[in-house]
Amino acid sequence: MLRSIIIILVATLALVAGCKPRAASPTGRLADMLQSNAKLVGYLYSADQPSVAVDFQDGMLRWRTDPHGRAIAEGRAQVFTWPDRACIGFDQKNASAPARPPERYLFCEATERIEHRNHLPRSQDFSFDRGDVFLEYQPPEGTGYPQIYYAGEQK
pTM tops 0.85, yes or no: no
Looking at the DSSP assignment, which residues form a beta bridge with residue 81? Answer: 22, 86
Q: Compute the radius of gyration of the chain from its Cα atoms.
A: 17
Q: Are 124 and 148 in contact (CB under 8 A)?
A: yes
3-state secondary structure of 6: helix
pLDDT tens figures, 30-42: 777 777 778 888 8
Q: Which of 44, 38, 138 is nearest to 91 (CA)?
A: 138
pLDDT tens figures, 57-82: 888 999 998 878 899 999 999 999 99
Give the residue extent of every domain in the chain. 21-153
* pLDDT for residue 100 is more than 70: yes
